[in-house]
Structure 1
Amino acid sequence: MLDSNLKNQLKGYLERVTLPIEIVASLDDSEKSFELQGLLREIADLSAHITVTERADDEHRKPSFSINRPGADVGIRFAAIPMGHEFTSLVLALLQVGGHPIKLEQDVIEQIRNLDGDFAFETYISLSCQNCPEVVQALNVMALINPRIRSVTIDGALFQDEVEKKEIMAVPTVYMNGAVFGQGRTSVEEILSKLDTGAVARKAEALASKEQFDVLVVGGGPAAAAAAIYAARKGIRIGVVAERFGGQVLDTLAIENFVSVQETEGPKFAAALEQHVKSYNVDIMDLQRAESLVKGPKNIEIKLANGAVLTGKTVILATGARWREINVPGEREYRNHGVAYCPHCDGPLFKGKRVAVIGGGNSGVEAAIDLAGIVSDVTLIEYGTELRADAVLQKKLRSLSNVTIIMNAQTSEITGDGKKVNGLAFKERSSGETKHIALEGVFVQIGLVPNTEWLKDSVALSKHGEIQVDAKGQTSVPGVFAAGDVTTVPYKQIVIAVGEGAKAALSAFDHLIRHSDSEETAPAVKEAVAA
């Protein structure tokens, strides 16, 4: 199964294995068992530390295999032939069981080790799912650390009967002890927050004890990362508090328009952002939701959902925006599996296919025009009796031969085959008749929702809820800056957010310099003033 290039790469990785590994395969006489048998034997041939034992008389799913140390079951099993995105999960499991260091903070490792309870996880995945590996790798490493945790990774395509019985329509879907535990991309820390009931209080206490930051960045997307990097390069005290580091980028399937990066995936881009930020002396406080901002006489306070309060001499708000949803059946189930929100990013993935655009405003009509040059045909669906886009855009749209416009229609459902979108149902508002369109993609273009609900009484917002900023990223509150999709700056693109984040950081530092008469001013700021 492994080509020569992949074998050479894997052999290089397996040279890091220092402890013996026993792979125990549960096989039958099926074609897939034969395929898995071949893969495991190839892996064993690449390292003297790895042996394979085959069994046909156990009660495990077939085909499947566990990765153990001789005489000890470490609780990691794959009911899958882990190629595609999950090949990395397989390699990491082999390395970690084989003695390679686990890349987690020591306090996180201790928290996993001290969990009280028996936890049996089953994770249903797809080999083409880009979000699944993080969940698989998180649960595998937890099983390796704590013997009371078991992790089984199940390829839904391989065990379709289980998927149908449990009515699983999206991956990753995680079951714990037989009950649904969660869906979607999930990190070790997020899993721990659900399992360790005392973790929230301990985390709040630790956060509340932190010293004041020179610049406190709220958010975890591209704008926040750029702000943190530019501020950290000034040698001052920087903190980043984020609900989810990576932000909306984590949900982006492909990025092909970030200058100098020809093509990448959202999760890879987010990981690169995080590693870049971590290369500086930045205090990252992940999985923390901000609830309020209060401007004091000498600092700005950010109160978190867990009750902790962080303070900064300056604050940069970069909480981003989220796509406005239509809230119909099928929308969330098929997100990133045919349901998309960014035609600039995801449009090329639908080349030659049939798509629908929901929304007749400027963003919807612009999306339809852009997509018409890529896909086979576009159906634009507008709730009202007329399009709301600018006249020049409407004229262009109507000139395109592969565009169909349906007005006075209410989308009622996005349909699919369990893996991807296959159509859209809508109701004609004039007649009440329901109709269905066969297609492969649906682009929801009814606007963005800025993540500013928690700021309504703190900073000036536009009528659309965006933070109003000037040319330097300054908000209505002195010392508080903002950047990225959460602001009034037009064109919500990653490359623009990065630039705005850098600008906000430089503006915040300039603010510190101009208000540096306090005895508490950081040495780096004093040096800048003296220079």
Structure 2
Amino acid sequence: MLDDALKTQLKAYLERVTQPFEIKASLGDSDASREMLQLLQDIAAMSDKITLATDGQDERKPSFSLQRTGTDMSLRFAAIPLGHEFTSLVLALLWVGGHPPKVEPEVIAQIQALDGEYSFEVYMSLSCHNCPDVVQALSLMAVLNPRIKTVIIDGALFQDEVNRREVMAVPAVYLNGAHFGSGRMTVEEIVAKLDSGAADRDAAKLSAKAPYEVLIVGGGPAGAAAAVYAARKGIRTGVAAERFGGQVNDTMAIENYISVLETDGPKFAAALEAHVKAYEVDIMNLQRAEALIPAASEGGLIEIKLANGGSLKSRSVILSTGARWRNVGVPGEQEYKNKGVAYCPHCDGPLFKGKRVAVIGGGNSGVEAAIDLAGIVAHVTLIEFGDALRADAVLVSKLKSLPNVSIHVSAQTTELTGAEGKLNGLNYTDRVSGQAHRVELEGVFVQIGLVPNTEWLKGVVELSKHGEIIVDARGQTSLPGVFAAGDATTVPFKQIVIAAGDGAKAALSAFDYLVRLPVVNA
């Protein structure tokens, strides 16, 4: 089950286990049950503090629970957690075995203080790079609070259950039998949803902070680079980010960041945050900006109002709010979102195994998605508005070689249709002949580019017709003391390396702005 390298790595980790615990497996006669048993036997053989029992009676087979001796802990994996979830398995083993988690003490205290009974079920796929954050968050919560029960379910392993519950996007979280949330969530976000007073406490704490010299709004590559460059100047620097790493978290493979041959988005995002944390930067996660109030006079304080009611002030601001996936904007898209309409082929592709899907978009991301999906689903239909695919030639050649792919160019998607709450088809018009066509399918993956996260800045800073923040060569916006960088700006070519460079430039420009302000005598 585990190769020698993984066994050596896991054995080294399990040396950190300090408290005995039992793995109890509920197994059947399937190949998956035999694979799970082999994995669990390998794990139990690596530590004298881990015992394995195979007499579990859970209705989900195969599955296994982790139970620390003498506790009421309830953490179960209805999955063989390899692939992207191997790290989740290792962390769960360590936490159950008494190894302390690398989480802020106040978050741990908040989890332990949660009252009531919470029974979580999280559906994931082993190819989903957003799922581990949710799996690890809910695993940790089950370890820290006996009133919290967590079951992690591999949707591909329990396809009948997924179909019955109509789970068509992962991660999907259910709490006490009702839908709780979908998509990537951190432990802080989950706890905040359960702790009704958290937002008010957070708002008051943020509003009480002293003004910054540079405040960065957004924590993607541009924001991270700006934070590092500003902090290295020795000035008070803060970062308010909705999620650190930004859209990088949703990127599967990164192979063009100079000096890094290959990495993945979540790993790169974690590295960005670690680099920023190496300096004295005040990082404020889970913070969405809602308004920018310009300074009353030159060199005065600029205010950023936050969605939770709090506010932050600074002598200069760098806007690096990035962009998000663009919607098709046709009837049915919002109605069937997460009910057949998806945006992440790596995350949700396994849920459509053996089914018919479409990909909207003929650029690199769309063609790559179609290639990946073709290895999982029964058939892929690619819909491109333009008269030719815009992806790199090598990708187009690969796509055209696949036997279960149909390509339609000059095709305008007009409607996504469904019945009984689920997507069942796509309508498009041939832009050359004007003829209407219909494709019967179960899933649609939208891959048509990005839209900047700048709606909250309309009427405050100058925006382009596409909603991008207009900046000059120094990253300066139309407002004195307000700079911008990254995918939210008019800078062409939305690339990680360009965003990082622009973030550094904006920080240097902000510092130059600050040092040139007139000295105010007390």
Report the TM-score range of the alignment, normalised by the length of the smaller protein: 0.7 to 0.9
Counterpart for residue 520 of structure 2? 518
Counterpart for residue 416 of structure 2? 413
Instruction: For 2:210, give the aligned amino acid.
Output: E
Q: CA deviation at 1:221?
A: 0.9
Contact 2:361-2:383 within 8 A present in 1 as well: no
Contact 2:362-2:382 within 8 A present in 1 as well: no
d(CA) in 2 for partners of 1:367, 1:4? 39
331-340 or 206-215, which deviates more: 331-340
Q: CA deviation at 1:441?
A: 8.7
Counterpart for residue 382 of structure 2? 356
Counterpart for residue 335 of structure 1? 343
Contact 2:138-2:187 within 8 A present in 1 as well: yes
RMSD between aligned residues: 2.8
Contact 1:422-1:438 within 8 A present in 2 as well: yes
d(CA) in 2 for partners of 1:350, 1:162? 26
SS in 2 for 1:477: coil
d(CA) in 2 for partners of 1:67, 1:457? 54
Residue by residue over 1:266-287, the C-alpha shift from the partner in whole angstroms, topping out at 9 and shown as x without a partner, is 1111111111111111111111
Q: In 2 relative to 1, CA 121–437 (structure 1 residues): closer, same or farther, beyond 3 Å?
A: closer
Q: Percent identity, aligned pairs only?
A: 57
Instruction: For 1:213, give the aligned amino acid.
Output: Y
Q: CA deviation at 1:32?
A: 2.3
Select which of 367, 375, 394 maps to 2:399: 375
d(CA) in 2 for partners of 1:484, 1:334? 25
Contact 2:342-2:443 within 8 A present in 1 as well: no
Counterpart for residue 353 of structure 2? none
Counterpart for residue 479 of structure 1? 481
Contact 1:413-1:426 within 8 A present in 2 as well: no
Q: CA deviation at 1:340?
A: 7.7
Instruction: For 1:405, give the aligned amino acid.
Output: V
Q: CA deviation at 1:403?
A: 7.5
d(CA) in 1 for partners of 2:258, 2:367? 18
The answer to whether the aligner puts 1:169 opposite 2:168 as a matched pair is: yes
Q: CA deviation at 1:411?
A: 4.0
Contact 2:120-2:151 within 8 A present in 1 as well: yes
SS in 1 for 2:239: strand
d(CA) in 1 for partners of 2:195, 2:442? 44
Instruction: For 2:343, give the aligned amino acid.
Output: R
Instruction: For 1:323, give the aligned amino acid.
Output: W
Q: CA deviation at 1:71?
A: 3.0
Q: CA deviation at 1:320?
A: 1.0
Consecutive unaligned residues in structure 1, runs of 5 or more = 379-401, 416-420, 521-531
Q: CA deviation at 1:314?
A: 0.4
SS in 1 for 2:275: helix
The answer to whether the aligner puts 1:434 opposite 2:437 as a matched pair is: yes
Counterpart for residue 444 of structure 1? 447
Residue by residue over 1:410-452, the C-alpha shift from the partner in whole angstroms, topping out at 9 and shown as x without a partner, is 343399xxxxx9996424587674332899996633x532111
Counterpart for residue 37 of structure 1? 37
d(CA) in 2 for partners of 1:438, 1:138? 34
Contact 1:468-1:488 within 8 A present in 2 as well: yes
Instruction: For 2:409, give the aligned amino acid.
Output: I
Question: Aligned pair count?
Answer: 487
Q: CA deviation at 1:360?
A: 2.9
TM-score (normalised: structure 2): 0.86
d(CA) in 1 for partners of 2:289, 2:361? 25
Residue by residue over 1:466-501, the C-alpha shift from the partner in whole angstroms, topping out at 9 and shown as x without a partner, is 111111001111110000111111111111111100
Consecutive unaligned residues in structure 2, runs of 5 or more = 350-358, 375-379
Counterpart for residue 27 of structure 1? 27
Counterpart for residue 265 of structure 1? 264
Contact 2:75-2:149 within 8 A present in 1 as well: yes
Instruction: For 2:282, give the aligned amino acid.
Output: D
Q: How does 1:84-483 map to 2 (within 5 A)?
A: 84-296=83-295, 297=297, 298-327=300-329, 328-329=332-333, 333-337=341-345, 339=359, 343-344=363-364, 347=367, 356-360=382-386, 366-367=390-391, 371-376=395-400, 405-407=409-411, 409-413=412-416, 425-427=427-429, 433-436=436-439, 444-445=447-448, 448-483=450-485
